[in-house]
Structure 1
């Protein structure tokens, strides 16, 4: 893809996120008294993220695309089509993330701004534990009334011996011993 193609894509994406941001900004202005501080903060955070994206990465990308199309730069190399593709691969997930946040706001608005429990499938600590009947059969059944006594480990004697040796070594270091050094003859 060349700079002209990316400019068209960029215009479409900017139009989409600007439109959503303006819609929510108008919604805040019209319903300010009815919204909680949390809801206003959430909406303003997404709008702010859109503004940062538009003034930052997307503006930079637009400049690169225009330099690619016009082949004019201020002494800097002209961005290649492959450069634009790489920059788009970095930038588009940011656009997608903002669109996803707007989708979550839409879902909350549909539920009268009730908080929506979010589930991150990549977060190991947040995954629900699903145990179906097959797994329940594999799990050992524990009956608390009839506990099986656990035998003492067979190596208790070894542990005692190690403790005695440690005590003996500690006592021997407290005594004043002569140290002998042996040197091999030359």
Structure 2
């Protein structure tokens, strides 16, 4: 059963990598189709300016996407190998499968969606009503990184388990005070990582970014639906 499970995990990782490579090719095709559409409607194609090193545009984020995708898939590969360990408990195996699945899902969905925005940023029509700006990319990437950080924390916990020979630390955070025969446990209250004001500000920024991207998608959809259709008339042969 474990062999079948490991084969399934390996196949899943291979499938995600294949989809990632296929998406690169499809993005190339979309770029060319997009240029043809620009030429048909506007009679011109926006030339992409020279990419300055360090400029956070579509080129910059595409490079980061490749690095992050390869890194996340490598983490998933290692976890898939760990699943083959016959000494692991079902609970540990469940955690490993969950971590691997979340990493692959992030690469195949959210990161792919962001890659499409990078493509739009790199190749845009001149005078486009709703161009994808560098600021748009930065805002969306901030939201993606929230999920990347969450997945990273899961793999950090797995690394801790791996170093502890897959034995979970069940030590309770209690401080015991002994006075002769009597002793009472006293819970240690952990301090919050950030105060309430900072947490509220972070949530507001996240909501604003989400609303901005949603308004932008609706506007682009409305623009596409309002564009007149092109009809080609062919004269009848006499």
> 1:77 offset after TM fit, Å?
3.5
**2:60 matched to 1:5?**
yes
Q: 1:24 is matched with which residue?
A: 79
Q: TM-score if structure 2 supplies the norm length? A: 0.46
* Structure 2, unpaired ranges of 5+: 1-55, 173-186, 191-238
Structure 1 portions without partners, runs of 5+: 120-126, 131-186
Give yes or no for the alignment of 1:98 onto 2:151.
yes
What is the number of equivalent residue pairs in this alignment? 119
- Aligned match for 2:188, one of 117, 128, 131: 128
Q: Any residues of structure 2 matched to 1:39-50 within 5 Å, and which?
A: 39-50=92-103
For the pair 1:38 / 2:94, whether they are aligned, the reply is no
Alignment of 1:30-179 (within 5 A): 31=85, 33-71=86-124, 77-116=130-169, 128-129=188-189
Distance 2:141 2:89 in 1: 37
Q: For the pair shown, which has the larger CA radius of gyration, 1 or 2?
A: 1
- What do you get for the CA RMSD once the two structures are aligned? 2.4
Contact 2:99 2:151 in 1 (8 A): yes
Report the alpha carbon displacement of residue 68 of structure 1 after superposing the two structures with TM: 0.9
CA distance in 1, matches of 2:87, 2:167: 13
Q: TM-score, normalised by structure 1?
A: 0.58
Aligned runs of 1:174-185 on 2, under 5 Å? none
Instruction: Give secondary structure in 2 for the equivalent of 1:64.
Output: helix
Larger strand share, 1 or 2? 2
Secondary structure, counterpart of 2:70 in structure 1? helix
The answer (yes or no) to whether the contact 2:72–2:104 under 8 Å persists in 1 is no
In structure 1, the partner of 2:225 is: none
